[in-house]
Structures are given as structure tokens and as C-alpha cells.
A and B are shown apart, each in its own frame.
Chain A
Amino acid sequence: MKSRVLVDFKATVLEFSRSPSAIFWTLAFPVILMLLFGAIYSGGGSGNFNLYVQDMDDSEWSRSFLENLTATGFVNVNMINTSLDAQQVITDNSLTNFLIIPAGFGANLSANESAVLEFRKDDSSQSALALYSIIEAVAQQMDPGLQNVSALISIDEKSLVFDDRFKFLDFFLPGVLALTIMNSTVNYMVFTIVEYRNRGIFRKMMTTPLKRPEWLASRILWQMVLGFISLLLILGIGVYLFDVNVTDDLNGVLMTIALILAGTALFTAMGMAVAGLIKDEQGAGALAGAITFPMMFLAGIFFPLEMMPEYLQTIAKVIPLTYLADGLRDSMIYGNMTGAWFNLMVVSGLAVVFAALGTVLTRWKQE
């Protein structure tokens, strides 16, 4: 017996291969995003925040501190001649972020005594807050006091270097994957269902033995295949061009696969619900956009949620995309299986809820 699912799957692939707009949004869009943001955020040491530093200490400690700061990939360190007056330089050049490493910084540390870093910042500037936390983190990391404690716990801890964690592209890559899955799947389902319904293609399908679950299975299967194609594209660019650190741990890989499958199911169901709710093509397209667009910016794809104000963070918590992006970040980058499991459960649970909603809203059989 021929499988109707396969017959429909073949048609789906053919349709896709002949639709330039589908190819663009599903395959080219994530590639462009990766290349664009990769170019902006990568490149040895040319970070996005400019920090002006006056190293009055010029010891091994201070030099290594600055090296670590540069290695985060987040900070562009500009050295200022120590003979100049700091305040004068700041005023003359309208500098916003200025760090002074006082003389004796290294000596104090070597002697296990407290040492002070002086960070002059413009509080109205957003970068100041980020820079402050980066400096703080780097300082903590090389703090001899803390290091002794961690050395006691485990040796591995030292290899967990901060600069890997802080690379923006590491953060960004799983987000782009989540975003692509959402955009591609929601839009595909909405436009396909509305088109097939309005052009009477469903009606024609209904006159054959093809059943709705068979049709759905084929379409979801294709979206999952597309999810994996996007994964490979994004990984290829991220890893080979921009040196993103992706975990190759088997559990992480399996978890990533599970998340892609669950995410595809979730957004397929969401697309069905939207198409079921709104019958005309333009209205459905508008609603799909109204749902996916804010999610794109509120789910912490382009910048970490922690950088957003409290109330936006609250909104982010009820956005499904947040959990897919977080889960993928946990499984692909951080190797945080506990977090990934939690996010997988949330995504799967939401998938079930939306699938029920979508099924109720899009009855195939007419009244």
C-alpha cells in the first residue's frame, strides 16, 4: 500500500523548492542573521563596548586583568597614557566608560590584601551597566581569594573560562535557531492552511481517503526536517566562521534534537490555531505577524533578558519562544541539562495545549 503521508510529503517538498519566499524566510533569513551579527560581534577583541583604561599599576596582575577583559569578546579596551590627567581626558573626549587601575593594585593582591578598581561611568548610558558587570565578573574570576576556594573544590572549574560564556554569538546562535523554527513553522502553517482552505484544496483532499492526521503528519515532518536543516546551516556558520562554542556532549545533542522536535510541534499547533481563528489570508497573516514579531524581541533572542526592564522580563516569561530559546541555549551552549529539561517540559506542555486549541479551531469537515 502506498503511504498517503509520503505522497503528501513529496508534494510539500516540491512546493517548498519552488517557492522563493519560503526558501528565503526559512533558510536565507537565519543565515543572513548569523552572518550579520557574527560580523558585528566577532573578531579578536573588537568588542562592542568601548572601555578607556588607565593602568597606573602596570603589574602582572593588572596586565592579566586587562587581557581577561579583552578576552570576553565584549569589551574594546583603549589604553590611555598614564601621564595624562584622567578627568581632563574624559572631559576633553566625552568618554563615558573609564577604568583606572590604581598603582599598587597588583602588589596588594599578591599580598592577599584588598585592591580597588576605579570605574568612572556615565549612569545614563546602557553600556555602563553591562560593562560594570563584565568588569565585576572578570575581577571575581581572577580574584586570588576566590580562586583558592575553587581550587579546593575542583580543578575543572578553572577551565570554565569566562570569556567563552560571555561571547555574544554563543548566546545568539541558539536564539536564531529558535527564532527560525518559530517564524518558519508559524508562517508556513498559517499561510498553507488559509490558502488551501480558501482555494478549495482541502475540499478536494477531503474527497479522497486522505485523513487530516495524515496530512498534518506530513507537514509537521517537513517542518522538522527544515528545523534540522536550519540547525546545520546556523551551526555551520556559527562554528566554522565565528568560532561559537557548541557542546558536543551526547546528552546535549539529544536534548537539542528533542527541543527542535517539541518546538516544531508547538509552533505548528500555534499556526493551526491562528489559521483556525481567522479565515481570510490578510487577517491571518497579520495575526501571525502580531504574534511572532513581539516574540522575536521579547523572548531574549537578540539580547539577554537580564538587560530588559523588570516588566518586560515578566512578559518574556509567558512567551513560548523564551522557553525554546532558553532550552536550546542550555543544551547547545551551557550544557545545563537541568535547565534544558525544564524548558523541554514547558515547550512540550505548550505544544499539547496549542495542539488541542488548533484541532478545535480548524475542523476539516465543514458544517
Chain B
Amino acid sequence: MVEAHIEVKGLRKEYGNLIAVDGIDFEVRKGQVFSLLGPNGAGKTTTVEILECLRTATAGDVTILGLDLSQSSKIKRRIGVLPQGFNAFDLLTVKENVEYFAGMFEEAVDTDELLSWVKLENRKKDLFKNLSGGMKQRVGIAMSLVNDPEIVFLDEPTTGLDPGARRDVWRMVRNLRERGKTIVLTTHYMEEAETLSDYICIMNKGKIIVRGTPREIIKDHGGSPVAIVRGAGDRGLQALSPNFPDCELAGVDLKIPIPNGRRVSEILNTLDNADVHYDEIVIKKSTLEDVFLKLTGQEFKGGEEDEE
């Protein structure tokens, strides 16, 4: 079995009466992309900030790279962090910013190489304040790697980025994984967690409500795929409801959950036999979003800066 890089047992964090993290346990294995997924206020950031030695826990045992959290200065030398809402010195250039953080460690990697890797080799002399959001985030990722860390924490790395910039970040995360880094990612984007992670813990109200690989989670909690027949209308509903009692009408579109063992062709045949006209059929696989909705009964809400 691959060694554990992070072990968390019974972690709690209280702010007065507010319980931000309510006794959670998890393990992150070496080389894994581990995601904490959840809506704002779920306790993800509090959790990772405790692991990053930025906050102190109210209770619980945490071991990082075999070290107890009290050895924070040793831990800090072996982890890299992209904090939530990352910012750097506005009046320093890209290169100066990265060198500043490299200068904080006794040993640091070559900053030019790092800047080429995040594709900022042509923006080295630009002031940080003049960069776009996506570029700033890439500077932040470069900064989090100056000490060649074993674990990289990325706290909401794509919040507020446009889809192109988001994909750039995803590429980098995959690349880091290939290089054998352990990655702890927090996000409130389901899609992001689904496509990047080896292992996901979904948090809600300070607790982990479900955990597993993305496939496992969807399989166990996602429910069946749904066929959407656009433009089938009332006639479609009449034709299908005897065989598919869960079928429902939304406007002129039909939503038909496909139970285990049933086939999509059954729907098509039924519609053809009844001579129902329709525009198109879409099969929607269950997503983490559905999982969340199903588990909590609440709509999943992203950050307010979410521009999508």
C-alpha cells in the first residue's frame, strides 16, 4: 500500500459557538490528487489551512509527512501552498515575486525554469498588478513550487477564472501529478473535482458526507442516468408513463430516469411505435452535483465570484 502523506483524525475547529470543522477523518496517499469538495462555508478552507499550519485546530490529530503539526517549520519547508484568493506584491514583477518566495527557503528550484513551466517566460518583467487573473494564478502556482514541495495545497485555484484559464490550471495539476507530487485541492466546482481527482471527500457543514473515487461516489450515490427527450410533450408522456412511471414533463421536455437494467432503445422504440415527434434525445449521466443534491437535499452553490 502506498504511504500516507497526510493523516487526519477527529479534526475539529470551533470559532466560539460556530463549528467550522466537526470531527473529520481522512487520509491522503502519496502521489494522489485529493479533493475536498463542498459549497462555501463547508469547512474546506479551514481544514486545509490547519494542514498548512496557518490555523490551529481545536482538537484532533494531524500528521503531515510523518510530522506532527507542532513541527510547523519543518512542515512548511516540505509543502507548497496556493492560498485561497491568492495575491502577491503588486509592485514587484513576476520574476521578483517568485524570487522573493524562493528566497524564503534555504533551498529553492530555478525560478526561470519554473516560470517557463507555468508559461510566463515572456511576462517575467511585468508587474504583478498588470497581469490577468489567470496569469496571477499561474504566478501563484509557480510560487507554491519554489521549494520543490512533496505536497502541494491548491485552495480554490480556479475560482473566478474564465474557462480557458481554468483549463490551464487543470493541465498544470495533471502535470504535477505525473511528476509524483501529492496534491490537495479544494474546490466548489463539481466538474473540476470529477475530472482531476483520484479521491474526493465531499464536505457539508463541517462534516465529510461522502468519500471515494469520483466513479465510486457517482455509482453509489448518483442514481440512474436520465434521458431527456426534448419537444416530446404530452403525447410522449402518455406513451412512456406505463413503462417508465418516474417519467416527468418539464415544459415540452420529458425527463426519464433510466433504471438499472433498462435500455435507452426501449424509450426510442416506445416513442416510435406511438409515432411521437421529438427534437432530440440527450442522455445525461449522473454527476457529483446530483450526488450532492441527493445527499443533502440542497442545491449546490458555488462562490459568489463564480462567473460561469
Q: Which residues of B contact A8 (CB under 8 A)?
A: 100
CB atoms of A14 and B91 under 8 A apart: yes
Please report the C-alpha to C-alpha distance between residue A302 and residue B142 in the assembled complex, in whole angstroms.
51
Residue of A with least CB distance to B99: A7
Please report the C-alpha to C-alpha distance between residue A15 and residue B84 in the assembled complex, in whole angstroms.
23
B96 interfacial contact with A, CB 8 Å: yes
A79 interfacial contact with B, CB 8 Å: no
Contact code string B71-112 (vs A, CB < 8 Å = 1, else 0): 001001101110111111101100010001101111000000
Q: Which residues of A contact B104 (CB under 8 A)?
A: 4, 7, 205, 208-210
* Cβ 8 A contact of A19, one of B91, B96, B106: B91
CB distance from A192 to the nearest CB of B (A): 11
**8 Å CB interface, A1-44 against B:** 1-2, 4, 7-8, 10-11, 14-15, 18-19
**Chain B interface bracket (under 10, 10 to 19, 20 to 34, 35 or more):** 20 to 34
Most buried by B among A199, A203, A365: A203
CB atoms of B76 and A14 under 8 A apart: no
Most buried by B among A1, A15, A208, A365: A208
* Cβ 8 A contact of A207, one of B52, B100, B106: B52
Q: Which residues of A contact B77 (CB under 8 A)?
A: 209
Q: Which residues of A contact B154 (CB under 8 A)?
A: none
CB distance from B92 to the nearest CB of A (A): 6
CB atoms of B101 and A208 under 8 A apart: yes
B125 interfacial contact with A, CB 8 Å: no
B213 interfacial contact with A, CB 8 Å: no
CB distance from B78 to the nearest CB of A (A): 11
Known: A200-B86, A208-B105. A366 touches B100 (CB 8 A): no
CB atoms of B55 and A367 under 8 A apart: yes
Q: Give how many A residues have a beta carbon under 8 Å from the other chain's beta carbons.
A: 25
Residue of A with least CB distance to B93: A14
CB atoms of B91 and A200 under 8 A apart: no
CB distance from A235 to the nearest CB of B (A): 29
A254 interfacial contact with B, CB 8 Å: no
Q: Which residues of B contact A15 (CB under 8 A)?
A: 89, 91-92
Q: Which residues of B contact A2 (CB under 8 A)?
A: 103, 106
* Cβ 8 A contact of A204, one of B15, B86, B91: B86
Q: Which residues of B contact A7 (CB under 8 A)?
A: 100, 103-104
* Cβ 8 A contact of B83, one of A10, A203, A210, A367: A203
CB atoms of A209 and B76 under 8 A apart: yes
Q: Which residues of B contact A203 (CB under 8 A)?
A: 54, 83
Known: A11-B92, A14-B96. A204 touches B81 (CB 8 A): yes
CB distance from B42 to the nearest CB of A (A): 18
Closest CB pairs A-B (n = 7): A7-B103, A208-B104, A207-B81, A199-B87, A18-B91, A15-B91, A203-B83
- Given A11-B96, A367-B55, 10 more pairs with CB closer than 8 A: A8-B100, A19-B91, A201-B88, A203-B54, A204-B88, A204-B101, A207-B79, A207-B80, A208-B105, A367-B15
